[in-house]
Amino acid sequence: MIKRRLLYYLTVLFFLVPWVVQAQSDGLVTGTVKDGQSQPLPGVSIMVKGTSTGTTTDADGKFKLQVGSADATLVFSFVGFQSQEAKVGSQTEFNIVLTEDISTLQEVVVVGYGEMKKSDLTGSVATLKGDNLNKTPASSMDQLLQGKIAGVQVITNGGQPGSGATIRIRGASSLNGSKDPLVVVDGYPWGDAGNLKQINPDDIESIEVLKDASAAAIYGSRGANGVILVTTRKGRSGSPRITFNTLQTVSTLAVKPDVWRDPVEQATYDNEAATTGGSSPADIPFIGTTRGGVYYPSIAELRGLDPNKPQWPYNTDWVDLVYRNPHSQSYTLTADGGSDKTKYSISGNYYKEDGLVIANGYDKYTGRMNLDQKLTNAVTVGTNVILAYTNSRGQQLGAGRSPIWPVYDANGDYFKTSATDFGNPIALANELYNKTKTFDLLASVYANIKITDWLQFRTTLNTKFGNSVQDQYDPINSTQRALDNKGSYGSIVNGNYNDLLNENYFTINKTFGDVHVITLTGGFSIQKTTNRFSTLTGQNFVNDVLQNENLGSAGTMLISNDLQRFGLQSWYGRANYVLKDRYLFTLTGRADGSTKFGADNKWAFFPSGAVAWKIHEENFMQAIPAVSDLKLRASYGLTGNQGIAPYQTQDRFGSYKYYVGTGFKTGFGPGFAGANDEQGRTVVSGLGNSKLKWETTKSFDVGLDIGILDQRFTLTADYYIKNTSDLLRLQTIAPSSGFDRQWINDGEISNRGVELGLNAEVLTTDALTWTVGANFTMNRNRVVSMGESDRVLIGTLYESVRQQISTYTVNQPMYAFYGYKTDGIIQTLEEGIKAGLTGRDAEPGEIKYLDISGPEGKPDGVVNELDRTIIGNPNPNFIYSFNTNVRYKQFDFSAQLYGVQGNDVFDFQKMSPSRQLQRWTLDNPSNDYPRANNSRGYRASDFFLTDGSFLRLQNVTVGYNLPSETIKGVKSLRVFFSGNNLYTFTGFHGGFDPEVGELSINNGSYPRPRAFTLGLNIGL
């Protein structure tokens, strides 16, 4: 414990304490200039300081320059990079590495439908360069955003290969509609963030996050959850550059699972639990009897102390059988280059990730091509094509099975304790067939026309085609699902996704004198989406030979198909006005028309406005030259959310079959049975609502940007208030109407919070550079109103506590936990009865639930449903991260820490075997863990709640860059070693990973691997 704390402090110190390190200083000089990735930089300007003597680097980044004296200083500068100076001295050969200028005010950032100088931004836009993504295997880019940007919360649900992530920008703001940000790749809105598998992280040039209404309103009805803009690498003119990147990764379990290791301890516990639970003596499990054809050894036998029986031969190590240390690989080959007229960038990637769990893995192939061609001085055309193919197999398996049982029985078949025992993970891994293949093609063509110096027109045609096929087969009597499907289950699930988008917009850029700069953007777009699904299911197969290969041979066949078609038309515009390079004004608006909404509300308009004041440009600031940037920003605007399925406004009939002796007949009539509710009951909708419309989010943002010492130290701070109203909500309606739910607009959610982003270039010298960054996000979420309901239970109905545990409750944050309050463990029967408990629940060793209310709203001496209340909040108080980067000569080092503070986790795994060993007994009157009792019906209570705060050493990378031309023909070579998910500081359940998803419910998620990666980048 002490050791861990020490390690914690040391690590924090490392990031926070700014070391003070001293920096150090005729004829022809030569040299090479490269970027941080050891790529040669062509076109870098090299000037002798204070003179007009200078040159530029050639296509290979090389230069030659005649300098007058040894006292001269060379200045290396290049757009997008920090300038660097070097004293000539006696040196004649210079190997310069330019650092990309992350914080420079001249940096251009991508905004919706255009680009802007960072210094001219009025809204809240965060930028992340592709190079700053952690070098670790990630099947989707989303996972790599964790901890990178203030205000962006990324939650990964576990470590299953191919799984995505949940992204929330400035909190969740919808009850039943989508809460995911919009992802826009190279100007093409793809849809909800969460599983951006089509993009190879190596291909990412930059990621911009539009957080406030001023920035996101240009995306109108899809902007309320924030927007993530992804820009892929483009070709640069110059000779071809070929790069090869690879990652070779070995993963391990980060924490050893808490399972029974000693069969005797487990059997003792189970017997004790049965006795306490009131089982008849014959039903005590481990007493050396045969039940249902399975022999249950006695404890003496397990110990090897029974004189008449041999020592029990099994102590199966399920953890060892289920988990492995998989090897994963990624290879990317990129070629880019071009001329004045043509620019290209082509890449291909193969990615293979094997899961920690046996027989579980994910493969991915992606290809990408960007091509730009200047046809005339005025017209540029281009295309961008992305192909992605994925293949995933297997599933998660449990390792908590009793070590008393073997894997195989005496006949060599999988051992089962009964006909309905489906818990043997080895049987499941080997017998179940589960494969999903996806294919995606994304393509854009554009033409950009410079009509005059100041007027441009751009038109694009974008299309997205996706296809997915899932094959599944559960052999005869192998799973509960097989049993529920008349013995065996086979299926093929097909999905087809088509999207077509045409965008047309003008951009005007005009400067009037030195005083007025105006940028106007305006255009029109039309988008159509068609998603098509079909599911073929077979039940009750003759045998398992064909698996799902001939579903027509099934005893019972089921077919279902569906199609969703929706369209969006939009007019949008933005005006930026810069006065005296000091006062910035932005007006943005978008009018969206959507087919999804009711006849009365097809169109909506989303305006926003923002102002910014560059204080550092004012005369009175000239006296403080150290302040290189001081900008105050404020914005207010409206954005929308249309994240519901189509056809919700229409009246729809349902269909059922009924048996009439000669066979089944199909009926149609009022009431459309949609998905089942959380209790597994059919939910009937189908009542139209012609008034259905968008959710509207009103957001206010005020921000401050500070830069000191030529942007060596920068701080960005934002405060925001987001109020979302007209929530798209599935309202519960009176069941006597014949319907259960209807989509309506009703209710309000508020989010408010603070974001801080800090960056410091502690050192920037020729040989040594060191940067430190940190960000901090604090969001407060609250359900303000929900129509006629004060509380709605949501999420899974957990069988073990027989209720749903997450809620939307008015005046509470979303997902607040609902259940009983507890006060430790009952120590005497009197105490239990006094607490309002009865029967076995009142006995010593049971959980002491509290009687806090009753029919009259005050304690009534009985613990029942009325005593349930809000017991916890799964939303963190704040999230934060630190990162650092050190480069010393050819070596570099980077590290990232990510932390979440103050959230409650509902830990269904709380009573794990190590806790069961600490159970309450007469000799050990524990106040933490209840006695063994197999008839206990746990109630959802704060007994299960645990603080989920953690600080994770997310990534550490050490790299070495080989000096240029060490190997002939190799322009650059970089080797690095990267460790991911290295250690988690947490008080949660024996160090288990408390990051378990947005609802913060730990029900045994897929373990997040600790990954060690060896990487190689070669540039030719």
Partner 1 sequence: MNYRKYLYGTFLTAALLSCSDMEEQPYGIINSTTFYKTPEDAESAIVYCYSILPEVGYYSRGYTIVTELPTENLTQKGDAGTSNFELDELRTTATNSNLDDMWTYIYRGISRANGVITNVPNIAMNQTTRDQIVGEAYFLRALHYFNLVRMFGEVPIRLQTIDTPTQIPLAKSPVKDVYDLIIADLKQSEQLITVPRISEGRANKVAAQGLLAKVYLHLASSKSSASPGYEFVSNADEMYTQAAAYAGKVVNEQTTFAFTDNLVDIWNTEIYKKAAVSEHIFDAAVDRSGDREGSFSKLPNMFLPADRPMEIVYNPSDPASAKINIGQGWSHFRTEANLYNNYADDDKRKTDLIVSKYWNAGTEYNLDITSSSRPFTRKYIDPLRIGDASSCNTPIVRYSDILLVYAEGVGPTTEGYAAINKIRARAGVGDLAPGLSVDAFRKAVVEERANELAFEGNRLFDLRRTNSMEEVLVNKYGKTITSGAYFFPIPQREIDTNPLMKP
Give Rg (Cα) of the chain.
32
In the complex, minimum distance from the CB of residue 609 to partner 1, in angstroms, rounded to a whole number? 26
User: What sign results for the dihedral spanned by CA atoms 645, 646, 652, 656?
Assistant: negative
Q: Which is nearer to partner 1, 268 or 279 (CB)?
A: 279
Shortest CA distance to 154 belongs to which of 583, 728, 775? 775
Neighbouring residues of 497: CB distance < 8 A, sequence distance ≥ 6: 464, 465, 466, 467, 529, 530, 531, 532
Q: Is residue 268 classed as helix, strand or coil in its secondary structure?
A: helix
Please give the structure tokens belonging to residue 711. Answer: 């942007």
214, 529, 689, 896: which one binds partner 1 (CB under 8 A): 689
Within 288-307, the residues that bind partner 1 by CB under 8 A are 292
Dist. CA 331–CA 349, nearest whole Å: 5
Scan residues 535-564 and list those touching partner 1 (CB under 8 A).
539-540, 555-558, 561-564
Question: Which tokens in the block code for residue 426?
Answer: 């080895």
Cα 502 to Cα 526, 590, 798: the distances in Å are 5, 16, 46
918: helix, strand or coil: coil
Q: Which residue, 19 or 653, has its beta carbon nearer to partner 1?
A: 653
Helix (H, G, I), strand (E, B) or coil at 866: helix
Structure tokens at 208: 């911009």
Least distance from C-beta 844 to partner 1, angstroms?
22
Between 18 and 937, whose beta carbon lies closer to partner 1? 937
Q: Of residues 6-45, which lie at the interface with partner 1 (CB under 8 A)?
A: none
Comparison of 414 and 506: residue with beta carbon closer to partner 1 = 506
Closest CA to 185 of 118, 222, 233: 233
When asked if residue 735 is in the footprint of partner 1 (CB under 8 A), the reply is: yes
Should residue 937 be labelled a site residue for partner 1 when binding is judged by CB under 8 A? yes
Smallest distance, partner 1 to C-beta of residue 300, A: 27
Candidates 10, 623, 660, 675; binder of partner 1 (CB under 8 A) is 660
Is 253 or 557 the residue whose CB approaches partner 1 more closely? 557
Residues 601-640 vs partner 1: string with x where CB under 8 A? Answer: -xx-------------------------------------
Three-state secondary structure string covering 69-116? CCCCEEEEECCCECCEEEECCCCCEEEEECCECCCCCCCEEEECCEEE
Q: Tell which phi-psi region holds residue 158, choosing left (phi > 0), alpha (psi between -120 and 50) or beta.
A: left
> What is the maximal distance between C-alpha atoms in the chain?
106
Of 331 and 457, CB closest to partner 1: 457
- Beta carbon nearer to partner 1, 379 or 626: 379
For residue 223, how far is the Cα from the chain centroid?
18
Nearest-angstrom CA–CA distance, 37 and 97:
9
Task: Find the binding residues for partner 1 in span 378-397 (CB under 8 A).
Answer: 378-379
Among the listed residues 595, 723, 785, 827, the single contact to partner 1 using CB under 8 A: 595
Q: Please, are residues 45 and 63 in contact by the beta-carbon 8 Å criterion?
A: no
Among residues 385, 493, 526, 758, the one that binds partner 1 under rule CB under 8 A: 526
User: What separation in angstroms does the CA of 256 have from each of 153, 260, 335, 404?
Assistant: 27, 12, 43, 20
CA angle 273, 279, 285 (to 5 degrees): 65
Out of 224, 687, 792, 951, the only residue in the binding site for partner 1 (CB under 8 A) is: 687
Q: Whole-number minimum distance, CB 558 to partner 1, in Å?
A: 5
Q: Where are the beta strands (DSSP E) in 513-626?
A: 516-539, 556-579, 583-594, 603-614
- Of 330-338, 636-644, 678-686, 806-814, which part binds partner 1 (CB under 8 A)? 678-686
Nearer to partner 1, 328 or 641 (CB): 641
* Contact assessment for residue 391 and residue 461, using Cβ atoms and an 8 Å cutoff: no
Q: Which window, 162-170, 259-267, 305-313, 666-674, contacts partner 1 (CB under 8 A)?
A: 666-674
Q: Could you say which of 4, 256, 665, 889 contacts partner 1 (CB under 8 A)?
A: 665
**Residue 646: CB minimum distance to partner 1, A:** 6
Q: Which is nearer to partner 1, 187 or 773 (CB)?
A: 187
Quick one: 315 or 502, whose CB is closer to partner 1? 502
Footprint (CB under 8 A) of partner 1, residues 445-504: 447, 449, 457, 459, 483-487, 502, 504
- Shortest distance in whole angstroms from residue 528 CB to partner 1: 9
Q: Which stretch binds partner 1 (CB under 8 A): 47-55, 579-587, 595-603, 960-968?
A: 595-603
Q: According to CB under 8 A, which one of 114, 348, 495, 567 is a site residue for partner 1?
A: 567
Would you count residue 565 as binding partner 1 (CB under 8 A)?
Answer: yes
Q: Which stretch binds partner 1 (CB under 8 A): 542-550, 578-586, 657-665, 771-779?
A: 657-665
How many residues interact with partner 1 (rule CB under 8 A)?
86
Query: Residue 819's beta-bridge partner residues?
Result: 869
Q: Is 276 helix (H, G, I), strand (E, B) or coil?
A: helix
Q: How far is the CB of 87 from partner 1 (least distance, A)?
A: 52
Identify residue 208 by its one-letter amino acid code: E
Q: Identify the DSSP state of 312.
A: P
| Identified binder of partner 1 from the candidate list 659, 857, 966, 969, rule CB under 8 A | 659
Q: Which is nearer to partner 1, 738 or 925 (CB)?
A: 738
User: Could you tell me the sign of the dihedral formed by the alpha carbons of 8, 10, 14, 20, in that order?
Assistant: positive
Q: CA nearest 194: which of 178, 217, 206?
A: 178
Taking the complex as a whole, how short is the minimal distance between the CB of residue 459 and partner 1, in angstroms?
A: 5
Contact track, partner 1, 108-147, x by CB under 8 A: ----------------------------------------
CB of 773 to partner 1, least distance (A): 44
Q: Which stretch binds partner 1 (CB under 8 A): 59-67, 114-122, 509-517, 684-692?
A: 684-692
**Nearest distance, CB of residue 942 and partner 1, angstroms:** 21
Under the binding rule (CB under 8 A), the answer on residue 938 touching partner 1 is no
Binders of partner 1 in range 205-264 (CB under 8 A): none
Residue 213 CA: distances (Å) to CA of 190, 231, 638, 866: 20, 21, 6, 42
Q: Residue 561 or residue 838: which is nearer to partner 1 going by CB? A: 561
Quick one: which of 681, 839, 856, 858 contacts partner 1 (CB under 8 A)?
681
Q: Which of 655, 796, 838, 918 binds partner 1 (CB under 8 A)?
A: 655
* Cross-sheet strand order for the sheet of 204-210: 125-129, 204-210, 227-232, 182-185, 188-192
Pick 49 or 486: Cβ nearer partner 1: 486
Q: How many residues does the chain have?
A: 1020
Identity of the residue, 434 or 531, whose beta carbon is nearer to partner 1 in the bound complex: 531
Exposure pattern of 52-69 as b/e (b: 16+ CB <10 Å)? eeeeebbebbebebebee
Binding residues among 800-819 for partner 1 as defined by CB under 8 A: 802
Residues 846-875 that bind partner 1 (CB under 8 A): 865
Buried b (16+ CB within 10 A) or exposed e, 274-296: bebeeeeeeebbbbeeeeeeeeb
Stretch that binds partner 1, among 399-407, 491-499, 669-677, 838-846 (CB under 8 A): 669-677
Which residues 6+ apart lie within 8 Å of 864 measured at CB? none
Closest CA to 949 of 897, 870, 876, 871: 876
Please give the helix or strand (H or E) that residue 698 lies within, else none.
Answer: strand 695-708
* Under rule CB under 8 A, residue 188 binds partner 1: no
Rounded to an integer, what distance in angstroms lies between the CA atom of residue 208 and that of residue 229? 5
Token pair for 897 = 């820490």
For partner 1, the binding residue among 43, 54, 646, 1004 (CB under 8 A) is 646
Of 619 and 662, which CB lies nearer to partner 1 in the complex structure? 662
Q: Which of residues 705-734 bind partner 1 (CB under 8 A)?
A: 732-734
CA–CA distance, 962 with 752 (Å, rounded to integer): 48
Backbone angles phi, psi at 166, to 5 degrees: -100, 125
